[in-house]
A and B are shown apart, each in its own frame.
Chain A
Amino acid sequence: DARVTQTPRHKVTEMGQEVTMRCQPILGHNTVFWYRQTMMQGLELLAYFRNRAPLDDSGMPKDRFSAEMPDATLATLKIQPSEPRDSAVYFCASGLVNGGRAVKETQYFGPGTRLLVL
């Protein structure tokens, strides 16, 4: 079974430190999403990429968050500097879109990175 992988699975850090989360999308998928889940806000989309180019990052705090896709097999989400309010579970998902339409009408989610900022 092809799966989305995320590392690390858990991260505890202190306020002010840089945090980098990594995601390996399913091979062949060309669209990658980053979501954040908290008890208060639920699941929210932070950003997403198609063919490694950012399409929408309107959900992401611009001053401290950055998302990139160095290559087709790796997506990164960085927080610098981190703050306690960034504590959440961060999910990566991937999908396949062709010609503006989802080839498969599904997104495949990774297991998430659980981040705690003290």
Chain B
Amino acid sequence: DAKTTQPNSMESNEEEPVHLPCNHSTISGTDYIHWYRQLPSQGPEYVIHGLTSNVNNRMASLAIAEDRKSSTLILHRATLRDAAVYYCILRSQGGSEKLVFGKGTKLTVNP
């Protein structure tokens, strides 16, 4: 599986937008970009995924660079409940369903 690189930690203020970056310079053409997050003392939960185009859902937006070597998860208005570890994961279309988690980015949201 191709590797992703994320900052270890980030901080944000409540009700401000948060941009969480992910680098994946070795991404292949069939790799989807997935984001999961893990709230304290809980299991990971799916946030969003995309292939080439930007994606929006009720939780977040995913902005994918034109060359696909990086992406950004956008939380439009951070709340205290968004404090979590965010994982950026590549999964190949038609490949194994298993998720390979890196260290992720620990997001702290300040009131």
Least distance between A90 CB and chain B CB atoms (Å): 10
Provide the B1-45 mask, 1 if CB < 8 A to any CB of A, else 0.
000000000000000000000000000000010100000001111
Is there an interface contact between A109 and B43, defined as CB atoms closer than 8 Å? yes
Residues of A within 8 A of B93 (CB): 101
Is there an interface contact between A45 and B45, defined as CB atoms closer than 8 Å? no
Question: A64-72, A77-85, A92-100: which one contacts chain B?
Answer: A92-100
Q: For the complex, what is the distance from the CA of A20 to the CA of B111, rounded to whole Å?
A: 41
Q: Which residue of A lies closest to B45 (CB)?
A: A109
Q: For the complex, what is the distance from the CA of A56 to the CA of B99, rounded to whole Å?
A: 12
Provide the B30-62 mask, 1 if CB < 8 A to any CB of A, else 0.
001010000000111110010000000000000
Residues of A within 8 A of B103 (CB): 42
Q: For the complex, what is the distance from the CA of A108 to the CA of B99, rounded to whole Å?
A: 12
Is there an interface contact between B32 and A105, defined as CB atoms closer than 8 Å? yes
Residues of B within 8 A of A48 (CB): 97-98
Q: For the complex, what is the distance from the CA of A31 to the CA of B96, rounded to whole Å?
A: 11
A107 within 8 Å of B (CB atoms): yes
Q: How large is the interface on B (under 10, 10 to 19, 20 to 34, 35 or more residues)?
A: 20 to 34
The listed residue (A31, A42, A91, A101) touching B43 by CB distance below 8 A is A91
The listed residue (B94, B99, B104) touching A100 by CB distance below 8 A is B94
Known contacts A42-B101, A42-B102, A107-B99; decide if A101 and B44 are in contact (CB<8 Å): no
Q: For the complex, what is the distance from the CA of A105 to the CA of B43, rounded to whole Å?
A: 17
A112 within 8 Å of B (CB atoms): yes
Would you list 21 pairs from A and B whose C-beta atoms are within 8 A, ordered by A residue? A31-B97, A33-B97, A33-B98, A43-B87, A43-B101, A45-B100, A48-B97, A56-B96, A56-B98, A91-B44, A102-B97, A105-B32, A105-B34, A105-B91, A107-B97, A107-B99, A108-B45, A109-B42, A109-B45, A111-B42, A112-B42
Besides the known contacts A45-B100, A56-B96, 19 further A-B residue pairs in the complex with CB atoms under 8 A apart: A4-B43, A31-B97, A33-B99, A35-B101, A42-B103, A43-B44, A44-B101, A48-B97, A93-B43, A95-B97, A97-B97, A102-B97, A105-B34, A105-B49, A106-B46, A106-B49, A107-B44, A110-B43, A112-B42
